[in-house]
Amino acid sequence: MADYVKVAQAADLPSGQAMAVTVGEKRIALFSIDGAIVAIADTCTHRGGPLSEGELKDGVVTCPWHGAQFNVKDGQVLRPPAAKGVASYPVRITDGAIEVEV
């Protein structure tokens, strides 16, 4: 059974921004969009680019290395060169802390 792990404070992630966190061996990108915080794997499936450093617009992040695009709510790939999506993770806020289920 997966557990929720505290990864950051919600106050540290302003709306429209992203940050990377590490849980065990997983690198996870957090995005603050539309009043919610969502989490996907931080590594682009094309060549491993850091999605947390990509441009975020309308719920879509563009990989800064080669331009692949992903939906930050579910990790689905929206534009090549990536051929497959990335994992998405459930998120909850508890007492101002961002927790990710891993």
DSSP letter string, 20-53: EEEETTEEEEEEEETTEEEEEESB-TTT--BGGG
Closest CA to 33 of 50, 55, 3, 7: 55
Quick: pLDDT tens for 13-52. Answer: 999 999 999 998 999 999 999 889 999 999 999 999 999 9
Is the per-residue pLDDT at 75 higher than 90?
yes
Q: What is the pTM of this model?
A: 0.94
Amino acid at 62: T
The identity of residue 12, as a single letter, is: D
- Domain annotation for the chain: domains and CATH numbers: 8-91 (2.102.10.10)
Per-residue confidence band for 58, with pLDDT thresholds at 50, 70 and 90: very high
Residue 1 has pLDDT above 60, yes or no: no
